[in-house]
Structure 1
Amino acid sequence: MKPWQHGFELDYLKKLEGLFSNYNEYAQHELSKFKKNNIADALSKKHITIRDSAIIHHYIQKTNTPIYMFSKSNVKVLMGTKYKGDMVIKHLGFSNEEDRLRIIKELNESVHFTHKDCWLYINEEDEWSKYIANKTFFVKVGAKFSSVADVIGIYTRPNKQQTNFDFNRPVPSIPVYETYTLKPTVLDCRHLISSIKDRLQDKGYSFTNHYSNYNPDNVWSAISLRGYFDDWKKIEKPIEMGKKYKADNPDWEKLKLRDTELRKEFPEVEQILEKFNSPKIHRVRFMKLGPGGGELFRHTDQVDPDSGLADGQVPRFHIPIITNKDCKFTQWTTSGSKAIAHMPEGSCWYLDTRKPHRAINGGNEDRIHLVIDLEANDKVRSLFSGERIKC
């Protein structure tokens, strides 16, 4: 028997792990899953309640800890605070309706859970876990987006002994723009697209393969009009890069935004940038996704802590230059559902890169978008409503 088993038989741990298959099915990374080693550790700490084949993984909160919407961001979007002594329910294990009813009964009747203010974490894509949350009087405060693209619903419930589950705990107000996913703007750039497209095709620029690990088939590439290097083929943002890159480039923090020689070749882009009324333009790139099912797999871009729509943060906008009806973006929402959109040529869309998203080009030609990162303010946020604005 191995030390990590904490004295529990391997077959027993595997059996319990199977009851968390509903949770693990939606987990986007092996480290997000609740596996046998995690179960053994929880059992050893008496953090597991088992009722026949229904399991509740829980613990008592030791310190006051804020809960933020995003794992990594310069702006902390607060959803609530777990206080010392609160009950935290982290995983639910079940395989059928009887198991779910056992969990509901335990959470609603056992003083272990009813006599403490509680927090419940569920995978927001799992409808059965939402059903349990609803039947046990939990109130959703928001969704937490992990860097590995999990969507975790955060729910809370007060002490039944004091309130009879009447919700009285204050919940922070989350700005509505933090919930936006695949949001179109009022900008209309259609009249500028043909000249940009013609120039891209005439020049035949050599695009640089994107460095991300969600581009395993090397179908995603870019060229830079504005970035951190003079060379328009260098497309990286240094803060996004890994430890090896930063070790090999010790002056990476000193690199500043600058235009490349390509920017002056596309005066149409200047007309577009002016309409944002942003105090600062960050990266501007043409980004290409290859044809025939070229795909960027589900991921987040939380390696960039600047992303977001709050003042001073850096939102990303997509303007399709070359596309087809089989080019689709998918983004996962705060409810765990999928927002799927085709972005027509010349339209302008906001993509919250902190939330899970994927892209696929099912057509027969390259998809090229103008991708703009810029500093947010009220004027930028105003572009989501009102009359259409011609670029």
Structure 2
Amino acid sequence: MKVLKYLQLPFFFNAGVMLREVEILADLHWRPHYQVKHYEGEWSAIPLRSIDGKSDNIIISPSNDKEYGDTEFLERSPYFTNILHNFKCELQAVRLLKLNAGSSIKEHRDADLNYEKGEVRFHIPVITHSEVEFILDNERLYLKEGECWYMNFNLHHHINNKSSIDRIHLVIDAAVNDWVIDLFNDADCPIKKEIEDTSRKFNVATTNQIIQNLLEMNTETSIKMANDLAKGL
């Protein structure tokens, strides 16, 4: 089975206009990222959509029962609002994320944050540099200002800002729906890469070994458990 590793969408946005709106918000509203173990240096956010629309909340909840709403910062940002209107799907957290010059995000993965699991994250660079290293599953990606990308963040990734400028992205989290499915199958997408789902291979192999161990126990309960596991493969 193949999974989507990354995809450049057939959208392009005006980085200059985005940067002007960032500058209006930037003086007062950058908040340090709460995942302090995941980075070195400075990594911060401005929430444009957050849980309950709170402008002081940059925390993302994996729970589906959380209600996201526009913050006052989005209401002050007509171009960002216009950008979001292009995404005909349920929008969750939307943030401006800044990785300061000389800072880095350590290698990690965001479990189940991928298209196949029903959640997508789009990155739109506002300001970036050729010396920003964005590494996804051991492959360096080159994201240019104004482009829009989906990446499978269930894979290991890390970022090193080796440049002299602060890198800023607009980051959009959304739920997969028919619009997203059609978009991801659009032949006009400039760049698309799929890879084998090695995690599933590992899970299948592990499950088969568990089934074999249960069958060797040869009890009524273990045989039933083995049969139940086999049905899930």
When residues 214 and 351 of structure 1 are mapped into structure 2, their CA distance, relative to the original with a 3 A threshold, is farther
Name stretches of at least 5 consecutive residues in structure 2 with no aligned partner: 191-233
CA distance in 2, matches of 1:235, 1:350: 21
Letter in 2 for 1:330: I
Partner of 1:181: 5
**What pairs up with 1:234-383 in 2 under 5 angstroms?**
234-239=57-62, 255-278=66-89, 280-292=90-102, 294-302=103-111, 307-310=113-116, 313-332=118-137, 338-383=138-183
CA distance in 2, matches of 1:238, 1:325: 32
1:188 CA drift (Å) = 1.3
Structure number with larger C-alpha Rg: 1
1:300 CA drift (Å) = 0.6
Aligned residues of 2:7 and 2:189 also touching (Cα < 8 A): no
CA distance in 1, matches of 2:17, 2:57: 24
CA distance in 2, matches of 1:254, 1:376: 16
Letter in 2 for 1:212: Q
1:308 CA drift (Å) = 2.4
1:229 CA drift (Å) = 4.1
Letter in 2 for 1:197: L
CA distance in 2, matches of 1:199, 1:221: 17
CA distance in 2, matches of 1:198, 1:230: 23
CA RMSD of aligned residues (A): 2.4
**What pairs up with 1:1-391 in 2 under 5 angstroms?**
174=1, 176=2, 179-189=3-13, 192-203=14-25, 204-239=27-62, 255-278=66-89, 280-292=90-102, 294-302=103-111, 307-310=113-116, 313-332=118-137, 338-384=138-184, 385-387=186-188
Aligned residues of 2:126 and 2:170 also touching (Cα < 8 A): yes
CA distance in 2, matches of 1:254, 1:388: 32
Give 3-state SS (helix, strand or coil) of 1:198's partner: helix
Aligned residues of 2:92 and 2:172 also touching (Cα < 8 A): yes
When residues 202 and 227 of structure 1 are mapped into structure 2, their CA distance, relative to the original with a 3 A threshold, is closer
Partner of 2:228: none
> % of aligned pairs identical?
27
Structure with greater strand percent: 2
Number of corresponding residues: 188
| Length-normalised TM-score, structure 2 | 0.72
Aligned residues of 1:224 and 1:285 also touching (Cα < 8 A): yes
| Length-normalised TM-score, structure 1 | 0.44
Choose between structure 1 and 2 for higher RCO, CA contacts under 8 A separated by at least 6 residues: 2
